[in-house]
């Protein structure tokens, strides 16, 4: 079994609105094979079509969520219509985290109410890149939330 946790990204601190994201941690060597099987099952990966550095827009997307923990090397793997970001430790030997940035959208439930599907967009102004969120009538089927499950 994997170690689990959660991190919170504030959307509106004054109103107490946060994105809660589940974390899975692999802290033992025997968990690597189990995680690899789950990951391949979830994403049905084929041979990657492309492995490359992040574009400026992709970096701005990731920066919003985890700016305090970005360390190179970071790569985007494009495969099967998905864009997955892989960040390694500075030595490049240990995988630190993986994020699916294919469609950075989410919906929130707050009590009995909630927000519509919100999709992250990157706003350019001169040489600056900022994140904003655009409400959509609903999240696409490809972004209903991939979950690693047995």
Lookup: tokens for 88: 């390694």
pLDDT for 56 equals: 92
For the stretch 31-82, pLDDT in tens is 777 777 777 777 776 666 788 999 999 999 988 877 777 888 899 988 878 8
Strands 17-25 and 50-52: unpaired
Lookup: tokens for 18: 């946060």
| Total-model pTM | 0.69
Return the HEC string of 53-114.
Answer: CCCHHHHHHHHHHHHHHCCCCEEEEEECCEEEEEEECCCCCCEEEEEECCCCEEEEEECCEE
For the stretch 79-133, pLDDT in tens is 878 898 988 888 888 788 888 888 888 776 666 667 778 888 899 988 889 888 8
For the stretch 9-22, pLDDT in tens is 666 777 777 766 66
């Amino acid at each position: 079994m994997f170690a689990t946790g959660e991190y919170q990204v504030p959307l509106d601190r004054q109103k107490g609105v946060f994105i809660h994201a589940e974390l899975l941690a692999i802290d033992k060597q025997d968990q690597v094979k189990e995680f690899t099987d789950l990951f391949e099952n979830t994403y049905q990966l084929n041979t990657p079509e492309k492995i490359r550095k992040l574009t400026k827009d992709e970096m701005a997307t990731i920066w919003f969520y985890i700016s305090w923990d970005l360390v190179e090397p970071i790569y985007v793997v494009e495969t099967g219509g998905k864009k997955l970001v892989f960040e390694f430790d500075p030595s490049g030997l240990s995988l630190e985290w993986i994020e699916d940035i294919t469609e950075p959208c989410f919906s929130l439930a707050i009590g009995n109410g909630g927000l519509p599907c919100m999709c992250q967009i990157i706003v350019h102004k001169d040489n600056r890149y900022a994140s904003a969120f655009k409400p959509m009538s609903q999240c696409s089927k490809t972004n209903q939330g991939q979950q690693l499950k047995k």
